[in-house]
């Protein structure tokens, strides 16, 4: 029953995430007006707005004008539900005490998912989401004691300064930034939730996966030379993986892979 409730709430938050991802880049309110068809403007009925199920019952089309509704909407709702379920399996949780870890993780993943989708769509990581995500991470860290809070505060500051410095250095050498400033702010968010060791491992994981995906994109021709692509999703992936398992666990897996 707990798993079902968590999955349902996760799907509902995924539905709201779709609204945030569509409206925030357009500087529209995420609250008013309510959900409506972007083509005909008709308000979506509550039973048509049920996560995943509503889309299936409608056959992927607006009830009023028949316009197609992208498959991405139910996909995001389903992904959100699965991510919420994965939050219950947390073993690390950035040093937070055990009873708080799953609930803090739900907040973290609710922040990461819209950031990932907006970055994919617009190559932009909204500063307000990153800033509030960092503040919430530090608030949760404060509940674990001064030692954890201090580590996470320093990690957030260092991640921001180091990545902004790296981006500036690359711009001088290569003529273009290696990372967007939003990536630095997302890394700072990760530092606030994971601490220094955690965000270091998260960035290593994100860079590794991003390099593989980027290389495949270049070889396949989907990415042109020097073409920018969203790096935020890889940072977010690293943050979530380290949140669930911890920096030490991932370091052990790396050593095992190399045969140490």
Q: Which residue has the higher pLDDT, 21 or 168?
A: 21
Q: Which residues pair with 36 in a beta bridge?
A: 43
Total domains, the chain: 2
**For residue 39, pLDDT beyond 90:** no
84-93, 124-133, 164-173, 225-234: least confident range: 164-173
pLDDT tens per residue, range 139-177: 999 988 999 999 999 999 999 999 888 777 766 776 666
- 248 DSSP 8-state letter: H
Q: What is the percent of the chain with per-residue pLDDT over 70, rounded to a whole number? A: 96
115 and 54 in a common domain: no
Question: Do 121 and 247 fall into the same domain?
Answer: yes
How far apart are alpha carbons 67 and 45 in whole angstroms? 15
Residue 260 reports pLDDT greater than 80: no
Specify the 3-state DSSP secondary structure of 228: coil
* Cα–Cα distance measured from residue 198 to residue 113, given in angstroms and rounded to the nearest whole number: 19
Q: Which two tokens stand for residue 85?
A: 């379920």
Same domain, 120 and 74: no
| Spatial separation of the C-alpha atoms in residues 102 and 36, rounded to whole Å | 33
Segments forming the whole domain that contains residue 22: 1-88
Structure-token pair, residue 74: 């139910």
Structure token pair of residue 156: 């957030």
In this structure, is residue 94 part of a structural domain? no
pLDDT at 133: 96
Domain end: 55, 88, 121, which one? Answer: 88
What pLDDT, on a 0 to 100 scale, did the predictor assign at position 94?
A: 87
Note the pLDDT tens digit of each residue in 187-231. Answer: 999 999 999 999 999 999 999 999 899 888 888 888 777 777 889
Distance between CA 232 and CA 183 in Å, rounded?
A: 6
- Same domain for 77 and 132: no
Largest CA distance in the chain: 62
- Asked if the structure places residue 96 within a domain, the reply is no
Using the 3D structure, point to which of 53, 88, 123 is the last residue of a domain.
Answer: 88
Tokens of 37: 């068809």
Comparing 89-93, 166-170, 181-185, 245-249, which segment has the lowest mean pLDDT? 166-170
Instruction: Examine the fold and report which residue of 54, 88, 122 is the final residue of a domain before the chain moves on.
Output: 88
Place of tokens 């609204």: 19
């Amino acid at each position: 029953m707990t798993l079902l409730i968590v999955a349902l709430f996760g799907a509902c938050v995924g539905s709201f995430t779709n609204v945030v991802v569509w409206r925030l880049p357009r500087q529209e309110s995420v609250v008013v007006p309510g959900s409506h068809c972007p083509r005909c403007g008709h308000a979506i009925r509550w039973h048509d707005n049920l996560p995943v199920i509503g889309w299936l019952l409608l056959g992927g089309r607006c009830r009023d004008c028949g316009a197609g509704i992208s498959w991405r909407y139910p996909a995001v709702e389903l992904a959100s539900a699965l991510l919420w379920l994965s939050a219950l399996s947390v073993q690390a949780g950035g040093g937070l005490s055990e009873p708080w870890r799953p609930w803090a993780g739900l907040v973290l993943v609710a922040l990461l998912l819209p950031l990932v989708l907006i970055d994919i769509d617009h190559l932009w990581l909204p500063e307000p989401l990153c800033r509030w995500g960092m503040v919430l991470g530090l608030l949760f860290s404060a509940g674990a004691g001064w030692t954890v809070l201090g580590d996470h505060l320093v990690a957030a500051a260092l991640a921001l300064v180091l990545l902004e410095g790296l981006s500036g250095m690359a711009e001088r050498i290569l003529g273009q930034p290696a990372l967007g400033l939003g990536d630095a702010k997302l890394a700072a968010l990760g530092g606030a939730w994971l601490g220094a060791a955690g965000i270091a491992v998260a960035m290593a994981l994100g860079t590794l996966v991003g390099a593989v995906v980027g290389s495949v994109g270049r070889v396949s021709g989907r990415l042109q030379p020097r073409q920018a692509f969203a790096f935020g999703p890889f940072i977010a992936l690293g943050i979530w993986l380290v949140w669930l398992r911890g920096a030490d666990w991932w370091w052990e897996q790396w050593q095992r892979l190399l045969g140490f």
